[in-house]
Amino acid sequence: FNSHCLLLISSLLVQYSVHCLTTPTPKESSWQCRLDKAFLDIDATPESRLRNFQRAIQDPNLRTDVNSAIDAIREKGFGKGHPEFINILWPEGTTARSDLEGLTALKTQLPEVLRELPDFVNKSKEQQSKTTKSSSSTSVDFSSLPKPDEIKEELKNAFRSTPKGLETPKYSIVRVIDGDLKLGVPEKIEIRKYEAFT
């Protein structure tokens, strides 16, 4: 190989990688989606978890993608290579990716919440003292408490991206604009038009 051929091949690989990184949702049969279902699907049965795990580790793309992700770190260093690493192993549209983005958001939100915590505690103490003075003893109606199945479903809903039974308004996407860069890819911001909802 001469340097021109190597440069041409590298250019094609970079263009292919950029195309792959901006693909919005992985296929349902991708190893990433199968691992999502095996480990993160709250409604999955043990049998489907095992089946999805087995299919994921048998997928030849798993080894290829892991090697590509490691190569990105090896060639670019962690600082510049980690966005590509994350985009390869946890593409947009997977639960694991959503969890990573949630943790990243939490990292920025937590300091803000901690700064506001003392004020919140003081206000809560004031409210509690007002409530304690004005309340009289009341009896508890145990029939109004949730049933075990209802509690179980609520706990599962805490881990779902959209809780079961949640009604959401219908909408159409008017426009999509690029936002801040997240992991080397612009965040997509949807401008939506919602139908009336009552």
What pLDDT score was predicted for residue 141?
Answer: 75
What pLDDT score was predicted for residue 124?
Answer: 82
Q: Which helix (H) or strand (E) holds 176?
A: strand 171-182
What pLDDT score was predicted for residue 138?
Answer: 63
d(CA 178, CA 172): 18
Give the tens place of pLDDT for each residue, 131-153.
666 555 566 677 788 888 888 88
Intervals of the chain under pLDDT 70: 1-25, 131-140, 198
Question: Hey, is 54 helix, strand or coil?
Answer: helix
d(CA 53, CA 37): 8
Considering the entire predicted model, what is its pTM?
0.58
What pLDDT score was predicted for residue 175?
Answer: 94
Measure the CA angle with vertex 95, ends 34 and 70; round to 5°: 70
Structure tokens at 187: 């965040």
**Contacts of residue 95, Cβ cutoff 8 Å, sequence gap at least 6:** 36, 40, 41, 161
d(CA 132, CA 127): 9
What's the count of helices (H) and strands (E) in the chain, helices before strands?
6, 2
**Contacts of residue 181, Cβ cutoff 8 Å, sequence gap at least 6:** 187
What pLDDT score was predicted for residue 113?
Answer: 83
Residue 107 has a CB neighbour count (10 Å cut-off) of 9
- Strands 185-194 and 171-182 come out as antiparallel
